[in-house]
Chain A
Amino acid sequence: MKNEVENVQIGNKKVSYKDLISKLGPLLALIVLMIFVTVLNPGFISPHNILNLLRQVSTNALIAFGMTFVIITGGIDLSVGSTLALSSALTAGMIVSGLDPILAMVAGVAIGFVLGAVNGLLITKGRMAPFIATLATMTIFRGLTLVYTDGNPITGIGDSFIFKYMGRGYLFGIPFPVVLMLVCFALLFMLLHKMTFGRKTFAIGGNEKAAYIAGIKSDRIKIMIYAISGMMASIAGIIITSRLNSAQPTAGTSYEMDAIASVVLGGTSLSGGRGRIVGTLIGALIIGTLNNGLNLLGVSSFYQQVVKGIVIIIAVLIDRKK
């Protein structure tokens, strides 16, 4: 009896070798990739390019953070790109019609939250498979965007300092989108790994029935998770709209793919129950490095897609081997 209790305490510090590999694998891959690109083109590692890369990564990373929660529950959110477009268009529309930009942005994020909650409701109360539900809302949200914009970009957003700052500003020399990404990362990291909400998220992904019987309101948690995913997409939308100084009806097209790829590259299991948001950040950086690096190396954008796909396959194959 006494022995067992001691074992419990001593054993707690043990970290298995296998665990270590799976935790450090994505980071290792990122470092190797960065060295590889730097060797071929030293310009890659310049501070200017790195900040540029981080800014490019920020929108995908924001979406992927939300997607991490979704995928840990065993779900998927295909509608993020369309959510981004619809909330951006509505935000831009509100600013154009004279609403205070700050209020318009808050409303835009709230719209993203609501659109995500609609997904959550369809999946929980409507008992639809996440893939089907978000596939449907993906086209619905995109369609609504086209209806609202009549297929044209919304311009004339004006010169509001705060709105320009969202996509184009710098804080202590760091692009504001990067700051925003890091703040969101910190908050969502806490939510996922340090708070009961995250614990419930993992429990649902691990075994939803057992979680429900243990008193977890799985429907409510899942609705929240899809709402967060929608909200993150709309935050990414604000950055993009600010950068382009216009809302494009086709904004965010196929962004769900990069987001899902980032989550998977980061070691989160598509079957749910396992995952880390740090991994997703690294996954987003891997994809960003590929895009940025292949550009620097002058690889045609057609080939870039092929390379990106191959990298995903290799990463997943290595992950399976473990």
Chain B
Amino acid sequence: MEVKMTGITKSFGHNSVLRGVDFGLHAGEVHALMGENGAGKSTLMNILTGLHTADSGEILVNGSERTFANPKEAEVNGISFIHQEMNTWADMTVLENLFLGRELKNGIGWIKTKEMKAQAKGVFAELGIHLDLNRDVGTLSVGQQQMIEIAKSLMTNAEVIIMDEPTAALTEREIDVLFTIIEKLKSRNVAIIYISHRMEEIFRISDRITVMRDGVSVATKNTKETHNDEIVRMMVGRDLEDYYPEKHAEIGEVVFEAKQLGQEKVFKNISFQVKAGEIVGFSGLMGAGRTEVMRSIFGIDPLDEGELYLEGEKLLIKSPHDAIRKGIGFLTENRKDEGLILEDSICDNISLPSIDGFKKHLLIDTKAEHDFADMLMKRLNVKAMTREDPASSLSGGNQQKVVLAKWVGIGSKVLILDEPTRGVDVGAKREIYQLMNELADRGVAIIMVSSDLPEILGVSDRVLVIHEGKLAGELSRTEATEEKIMTLATGGY
């Protein structure tokens, strides 16, 4: 299948997300789609698969103009989208998942399990997948679930498969299996649109690369004729030094120290220090245990062993309440589920961790609370009509600023930021970096977990790399490079 998208534009309200994108796909190629978060990759793919309609522009499928009404219609017509959050049903078996919604039935609706099994086995054999069809999908690894999704799309005769960050949660071995499958798909003349941030993979698997930035397609290159630096330059659009604001904070005494932290089967022997004014970046593959370390420091999950010290004083943290009282703030990676109460107002969200401080004669001092929220909204430049707007009405970047405002509001001495710029547009990203620098200036010790390597390199004073629950190494700002971090993150030396 040949797909050609030309001059695609799309706005959501006043926010123009795509401003003229060209994208072409040949049958049987792996075409990498790259760009920063917020560059418009997902929107473009959602337009192709009919979730959104383009404001203008043209989509040609095999030479004739074609738009799909919804993702289901796109799928029937051979375009499948495998999302990062997978569409599998944990309590159903592999077989049930494969045929969900299109079970083979006889005249009275009886499901023909035998035929379904035969078909599934055929596809599995072709892709080289070995999985028990009767197993519950919930018991499978993310990589295995992904294979089910790929098999599913083949069974609907997909000619184009879009994979969004397919390796984000995979182990090295699973990545190898995935790439073997991709090769097999190519030989069947299936085209793959491969969305990923990982340079190494892109160069290993793709035939062509299209880079997007701020809603436009910058260029399409043959993978063989380009190199790492060129792609990064096209993605960022300026030199890294410009993109990340310069940091001047003076680095002071050790504020926070973790000694020999461990949690059974998750992480072990994690020790590190963070000084006043310092930003320490935590890198590593997804599932390496970075987030888990932070969650247990903050008292969300229990710490099986190890000690925490704040300004030399030993901490006993059993719940987030304890951590907050000691002056630790934690922006979790999951803004919507853990960071915000979406239906509540911006003001209520900002004041929530500090609410006990607004007690005056048993009642809440509403005026003080409002002043507090207004002050923080102004300081963090939260763009909203009023403080009473529900948090759900804000854009991703502004929602993230509200979560940050909560933790700035408690006067955090230690601020843990887990993927602080995930799902945040480029402009707001820079504002968040600036705010981090400003907090560092005031002596806050900042820990940043990020899967975004350029961000880790651009923001951190020091980089700690976690591999399979252990500290794999430490790199200073001057030493750190993407290659060195990736080597440590994948268990190399």
A residues contacting B by CB (< 8 A) are 1, 4-5, 7-12, 14, 190, 194-196, 199-200, 202-203, 206-207, 209-217, 273-274
Alpha-carbon gap, A101 to B323, bound state (A): 47
B contact residues around A273 at 8 Å (CB): 341, 343-344
Q: Say yes or no: A217 contacts B321, CB within 8 Å.
A: yes
Question: Which residues of chain A come closer than 8 Å to B90, judged between CB atoms?
Answer: none
Query: What residues of A have a CB within 8 angstroms of the CB of B341 in the complex?
Result: 203, 206-207, 210-211, 273
A207 proximity list for chain B (CB < 8 A): 337-338, 340-342
Interchain CB contact under 8 A, A4 and B344: no
Chain A residues with CB below 8 A from B353, complex form: 214-215
> In terms of DSSP, what is the predominant structure of the interface of chain A?
helix
Partner of B324 from the list A1, A200, A209, A215 (CB cut-off 8 Å) is: A215
Known A4-B383, A215-B320; contact A190-B363, beta-carbon cutoff 8 A: yes
**With an 8 A cutoff between CB atoms, is B125 at the interface?**
no
Query: Which residues of A lie under 8 Å from residue B343 when comparing CB positions?
Result: 206, 273-274
For the complex, what is the distance from the CA of A92 to the CA of B242, rounded to whole Å? 79
Residue of A nearest to B370 (CB): A12
Residues A4 and B338 in contact, CB atoms below 8 Å apart: no
Residue on B with the closest CB to A209?
A: B338
Chain B residues within 8 Å of A, Cβ to Cβ:
298, 300, 319-321, 323-325, 330, 332, 337-344, 348, 352-353, 355-356, 358-359, 362-364, 370, 374, 377-378, 381, 383-388, 406
B231 to chain A, nearest CB (A): 36
> Which A residues are in CB contact (< 8 Å) with B342?
206-207
The docked-state distance in angstroms from the alpha carbon of A14 to that of B362 is 28
A12 to B348 CA separation, bound complex (whole angstroms): 14
Contacts A195-B364, A212-B320 known; list 18 others, CB within 8 Å.
Answer: A4-B383, A7-B386, A12-B370, A12-B387, A196-B358, A203-B348, A206-B343, A206-B344, A207-B341, A207-B342, A209-B337, A209-B338, A211-B352, A213-B320, A214-B353, A215-B320, A215-B353, A273-B343
The 6 closest A-B pairs by CB, nearest first: A11-B386, A206-B341, A215-B324, A214-B353, A214-B352, A207-B341
Name which residue of chain A comes closest to B369, CB basis. Answer: A199
CB pair B377–A8 under 8 Å, yes or no, is yes
A196-B355, A196-B356 in contact; A202/B300 too (CB < 8 A)? no
Question: Within 8 Å CB of A8, what residues of B?
Answer: 374, 377, 384-387
Partner of A7, one of B330, B348, B362, B385: B385
Give the docked Cα–Cα distance between A126 and B177 (Å).
Answer: 43
Q: Give chain B nearest CB distance to A156 CB in angstroms.
A: 42
Q: CB distance A11 to B340 under 8 Å?
A: no
Q: With A194-B364, A206-B344, A215-B325 as given contacts, are A14 and B355 in contact (CB-CB < 8 Å)? A: no
CB-nearest residue of chain B to A2: B378
Contact, CB under 8 Å: A1 / B378:
yes
Report the separation of the CA atoms of residues A151 and B319 in the bound assembly, to the nearest whole angstrom: 46
Nearest-neighbor residue (CB-CB) of B337 within chain A: A209
